[in-house]
Amino acid sequence: MCMRIAIASDHRGYKLKESIKILLKFWGYKFEDFGAANEESSDYPDFAKAVANALKNGYDFGILICGTGIGMSMAANRFGGRAATCRTVEDVKMSREHNNANILCLAEHTKNYEELVKTFLETPFSEEERHERRIKKFDL
């Protein structure tokens, strides 16, 4: 696996980020932690920007965690990512297959995070013309 993953959280997502890092290491993925370094109050847009920039610089995927996943998703999309807040495996599959999401956003309280992360990293984008056409319209 040569895939490189950028991961970050704000203070509320710190514990889940640390758990996901253990999984990534166990599964053999290369990753870099872009913060937060602890549970002290921090600003989620800073971390969303860092991960979105990492993708622009060669990382394959990003994982962001905050209280709901929504703030991280909004910020990451603002900075050029294709971030999706996902709660179910179906959300994850559709975000990858149809939207070519490159950043998975999770809520701090996500219980099935192992299944969601694995599905995100293993589900390919469907290169059907209709999906590619729609993705291209993001940049118009």
Task: Kindly list the catalytic residues.
Answer: 98
Residues 6+ apart with CB under 8 A from 58: 4
DSSP reduced 3-state for 29: coil
Read off the pLDDT band of 140 (50, 70, 90): low
User: Beta 4-9 vs 30-33: how paired, if at all?
Assistant: parallel
* pLDDT tens per residue, range 99-114: 999 999 999 999 999 9
Domain spans in the chain, listed from the N-terminal domain onward: 4-139
Domain at 4-139, CATH class:
alpha beta
* pLDDT tens per residue, range 13-58: 999 999 999 999 999 999 999 999 999 999 999 999 999 999 999 9
Single-letter amino acid, residue 90: E
